[in-house]
Structure 1
Amino acid sequence: MLKIVFLFLFLISNIFANEENILQKAPEELKKAEIEKLKSELEAIDLSLEANIWITRYNNYLTYRKLESELEQLSIDFKKYSTWKSKKYKELSYQLQNKIKIKQNELSLIDEYKDSPIGALIKPKVIETKPNITNPFNIVEAFSYIQNLESSVKNYKNTGIELTSLLKILSDKTKLYKKINELANTNGFTTELAEINQELKDFSMVLDIVSTTSEVYAKKVDQIKQEVQDDVANEIERTIKLALLIILLIALSIIVKVLLKKYITEDDNHYTSNKLVNFILILFIVFILIFSYIDNASYLVTVLGFASAGIAIALKDWFMSIFGWFAIMTNGSIRVGDRIKVTRDGTEVVGDVLDISLFKIAVREDVTLTTYMRTRRSGRVFFVPNSYIFTDLISNYTYDGLRTVWDGVDVMITFDSNHAKAIELCTEIATRNARGFTELTKKRLNKLKTKYVLRSTNPEPRVFAFAETYGIVVTTWFYTNSYGTLPLRTKISLEIVDAFNAADDITIAYPTQTVRGDATTPRVPPFDTSIEGGE
């Protein structure tokens, strides 16, 4: 019985002992699990900080301090051993000197961390000089400048935000280390805590500097932004005023053109006047823009004065053409539609003026006596520099309303021909065919008498005779259309030939040999006179 009681008591005591052991072991297991969890959190924090730019820059700062300390020690050692004269210490001094140079080069690579744990980023971006807004194109530059300022302020504020977040992470990391020590009932992680505390101290100092600087920087940027915006507003106002002035000038030029079209009936004069109005308009606009957007006009005049000689030499032909254009526009010597002849270096061009631009005259070549006798080509467009009016011969067939020019037909007859009859026939033929142009010329010349001194104004056809080598040249002169001399010349030439061939006492001469024979031999015409001439 006693054995049973004793066994029962023994079992009861074992049960209570096991329960007590379990109760004692449970908190230890929980602590270990909690510690492992905290270490996992620390690992996660360390992993996130590996890619943190500020920790990277801070490590560079620590590297700089380490290199600086090493350089200082090397300098002390070099100073110590450089005075010793033994060969051993001279070699050591040489090695120390090389190490000092290496350290100095390494420090120069990370020099921005000399005074800041985060390097140059502790300072905001330097504010560039604000743009000088003197023309509308600077407005775009001003808006870009403002955007850059706002971006700089935003980036610097983000620096403060990121540093605040980093301090919180480091503070949490410190708490985790302390909690682990508390659970483990130890004083471990001494080195880690010291490093983190130093980081907290350094980053707190940096955050204070960044926060203070950020406020001052933002106020400075706001001030500059306001100044730039005021300059932009002033420039926009000035641009609008200039635009309105230019629009007013354009409207005025349109009104002038309408009035000119109303009171100038001739198309050529109307075209020239429009060109002149356009030139004056452009000239006014250019001067307005120049004196509006050049701050110092006297400076421009001075620069142009010094540069005028070189410009005159380099752009001589351009300036001469511009002056030529101005002379043409003002004196009206050549107008659009005029028939002109340009002679230069033995080349002759006869045609109608298509256009007169600032630098050249466009002339469309026509079929004329010149193309027949010289070029054998026609229909081309020649571009004649305006400067040619000062240096070369330019003939105008239709100057100041004239529409006719003298043209002549030469026919040679033999010395034994009836030259008086030949002159009479030529006079009659020319007078009859050129009557319309003669009357038109008479009216034009009478009109020109009021403007010019004209000594000879008789437009009637003229016939002259001259003794030449192979016979008598009968030259017939008459007024014809300036724009088409060949048709009338053709008609009169053929009628004269027909008339001379029909006359028994007139013989057309050409280089021949005269053989004296029987006087009764009939004279044979040189060719069939039955062929009628025409245009």
Structure 2
Amino acid sequence: MKLILGYIASLFLLVSISFADEFSYLEKDNNSWLQIYSNLLRAQTLDDEIKSLEKTVQKAVGKNKIELTQLLKLQTSKKKILDELPQSFDAMLEKITIGDTFKEISFIEYLLKNQKSNYAIQTKKLTFVKEEYLEALKHLNAELELVSKKEVKDTSKEYQLQMALDFFKSAKGLLDHKAEVLRHKQELYLHELKSYESTQLPRIMLNIGIIFFIFILFHLLKYFITKRIENEDQLFKIKKILNITFFLLLLLVIVIFNINNIIYAATLIGFIAAAITISMKEYLQSIVSWLHLSFGNFIKLGDRILINVNNQQVIGEVIDISPFKVTLYESINNTTSVQLKRAGRIIFIPNNYFVNNYVYNYTHDKMKTIYDLIEFRIPFSVDAQKVEEIVQEITIEATERYMEVAAKQFVSLKKRYDMRSRDFRPRIHLVPDAVEPCYILYIWYVTPYHQIMEFKSQLSQKIVNRFQEENISFYIK
């Protein structure tokens, strides 16, 4: 008897399952409302079937229990798949939204994120959903009319259609409510937008106009100063002062514009300063170093300097000092001749490098001369005193005019620093070599910084010619 009841229950479940798939008359292609409603009915029917199957499985035995268990797993899998589809009108209408919270309009939002277009898009979406809703009602009414006209009434189908119509009519309130909320938010936003345009926007435009005026004024001022001042060093410093003044004035104007909310202004400036400090650390260091270079006066345009970059000597003339870098023109000199074997390149060095590294200035202040060196190897057999006299004579004769120039230039340097008086005569030294049996002849002499190689060539030729005339042996290692 129990076995018969089990088969009857199974038959009942199979019939109900087939009924669960008979909702095609409630569907219409490309209609979200009918599809969601159909998904809802299928989900409810499957829930009921699963509950009934669970009870039947508990009472079943043997082979019948195994079959019913498999059927239960199948229906549970169908329910999981069906749950992935939308089953609520609310979920469909929630996609038509412009946000739950209303934010105060800012100038950036006014320019880039104006919500008018967003409201227009959401309104079109709502209109489309309304049209689908009316199509769904029309479809259901048409299906109900067809069922009613049949001679043999399908009471179950007629009942389902009538239930669907009642459900859809009650859902119309959701559409009306959504339309009312969207209209209310749009009116509120348009009111705030109009208020912003009539109150805050003119003030902001005036502020931008003032900033633009200051910008134009500073550029005109720099233009006229450039035309009137011919001294390049003075012009460079004045331009730097004007740039700094412009940025400080700009910052002051921004603070004054936000004086009504000074806490906000101070906080804003603080956050901006912190963000700039973190993200632009190297650039800020370069700008601070640029101020140091501009007003420290230890290097300036036209100076020849030498620095060590990655254990390599870099020497050249300063042709530009910008907020981020110093630009050098690589000159022809001993370093480029002996080590690099090339010259004439443009070298860019970050400003912050000059703060933490040594800088050798060949032309600081008014000093335009430096000591240069020539070396010879002289055998011990040669008369060292005679060699020293010959070299002294030639070098003094060749450098006499540069000695006078260096002495005059040193007067200016001495006024600036606590320095002893110096004699710029040539320095001649004969030092025994620690490796070979000979003297090393060191000839130090004063020469203009821009004629180092030319003068070394001329002086070396004179000394070599004189050594040859006097039969003095020498060699260069």
The answer to whether the superposition gives a TM-score over 0.5 is: yes
Distance of aligned partners of 1:99 and 1:233 in 2 relative to their CA distance in 1, 3 Å threshold: farther
Any idea what the Cα deviations from partners look like across 1:140-185, whole Å, max 9, x if unmatched? 5522x4323222223223433554466567668878998xx7xxxx
Give 3-state SS (helix, strand or coil) of 1:155's partner: helix
5 Å matches for 1:286-301?
Answer: 298=267
Q: What is the CA–CA distance in structure 1 between the aligned matches of 2:388 and 2:95, rounded to whole Å?
A: 109
Q: Which has the larger radius of gyration?
A: 1
Distance of aligned partners of 1:66 and 1:389 in 2 relative to their CA distance in 1, 3 Å threshold: closer
2:356 is the alignment partner of 1:356? no
Residue identity (%)? 21
Give 3-state SS (helix, strand or coil) of 1:462's partner: coil
Any idea what the Cα deviations from partners look like across 1:21-64, whole Å, max 9, x if unmatched? xxxxxxxxxxxxxxxxxxxxxxxxxxx9975644x743652563
**Contact in 2 for aligned 1:68/1:107 (Cα 8 Å):** no
Match in the other structure for 2:215 = 250
Match in the other structure for 2:236 = 271
Any idea what the Cα deviations from partners look like across 1:494-522, whole Å, max 9, x if unmatched? 445556777xxx6645269xxxxxxxxxx
Q: 1:427 aligns with which of 387, 396, 399?
A: 396
Q: What is the CA–CA distance in structure 2 between the aligned matches of 1:393 and 1:264, rounded to whole Å?
A: 33
**Contact in 2 for aligned 1:403/1:482 (Cα 8 Å):** yes
Q: What is the CA–CA distance in structure 1 between the aligned matches of 2:386 and 2:289, rounded to whole Å?
A: 53
Give 3-state SS (helix, strand or coil) of 1:486's partner: helix
Match in the other structure for 2:445 = 477
2:425 is the alignment partner of 1:462? yes
CA RMSD of aligned residues (A): 5.1
**Contact in 2 for aligned 1:142/1:232 (Cα 8 Å):** no
Any idea what the Cα deviations from partners look like across 1:365-412, whole Å, max 9, x if unmatched? 222133334333222333334344344432111222433333456677
Aligned AA (1:126): T
2:477 is the alignment partner of 1:510? no
Any idea what the Cα deviations from partners look like across 1:307-350, whole Å, max 9, x if unmatched? 98xx69xx987666554433222202222321112245663333
Aligned AA (1:374): Q
Q: Specify every segment of 5 or more residues in structure 1 that has no aligned partner in the other structure, as ranges.
A: 1-47, 513-535
Match in the other structure for 2:120 = 150
- Aligned length, in residue pairs: 439
**Contact in 1 for aligned 2:34/2:136 (Cα 8 Å):** no
Match in the other structure for 1:125 = 96
Quote how far apart the aligned CAs of 1:456 are. 1.7
Match in the other structure for 1:65 = 41
Q: TM-score, normalised by structure 1?
A: 0.62
Distance of aligned partners of 1:295 and 1:94 in 2 relative to their CA distance in 1, 3 Å threshold: farther
Q: What is the CA–CA distance in structure 1 between the aligned matches of 2:60 and 2:164, rounded to whole Å?
A: 46
Q: What is the CA–CA distance in structure 1 between the aligned matches of 2:310 and 2:124, rounded to whole Å?
A: 73
Q: What is the CA–CA distance in structure 2 between the aligned matches of 1:425 and 1:62, rounded to whole Å?
A: 113
Q: 2:384 aligns with which of 394, 404, 415?
A: 415
Q: What is the CA–CA distance in structure 1 between the aligned matches of 2:124 and 2:440, rounded to whole Å?
A: 104
2:453 is the alignment partner of 1:486? yes
Match in the other structure for 1:337 = 302
**Contact in 2 for aligned 1:352/1:366 (Cα 8 Å):** yes
2:352 is the alignment partner of 1:381? no
Q: What is the CA–CA distance in structure 1 between the aligned matches of 2:363 and 2:406, rounded to whole Å?
A: 11
Q: What is the CA–CA distance in structure 2 between the aligned matches of 1:131 and 1:268, rounded to whole Å?
A: 57
Q: What is the CA–CA distance in structure 2 between the aligned matches of 1:159 and 1:383, rounded to whole Å?
A: 64
Distance of aligned partners of 1:99 and 1:288 in 2 relative to their CA distance in 1, 3 Å threshold: farther
Q: TM-score, normalised by structure 2?
A: 0.68
Give 3-state SS (helix, strand or coil) of 2:365's partner: helix
Distance of aligned partners of 1:172 and 1:280 in 2 relative to their CA distance in 1, 3 Å threshold: same
Q: 2:369 aligns with which of 386, 404, 417?
A: 404
Distance of aligned partners of 1:195 and 1:59 in 2 relative to their CA distance in 1, 3 Å threshold: farther
**Contact in 2 for aligned 1:404/1:441 (Cα 8 Å):** yes
**Contact in 2 for aligned 1:355/1:362 (Cα 8 Å):** yes
Quote how far apart the aligned CAs of 1:265 are. 3.9
Aligned AA (1:462): R
Distance of aligned partners of 1:496 and 1:390 in 2 relative to their CA distance in 1, 3 Å threshold: same
Q: Specify every segment of 5 or more residues in structure 2 that has no aligned partner in the other structure, as ranges.
A: 1-24, 433-437
Match in the other structure for 1:19 = none
Match in the other structure for 2:335 = 370
Any idea what the Cα deviations from partners look like across 1:96-144, whole Å, max 9, x if unmatched? 754663564365244524xx5xx7446672332568578765445522x
5 Å matches for 1:199-218?
Answer: 199-218=164-183
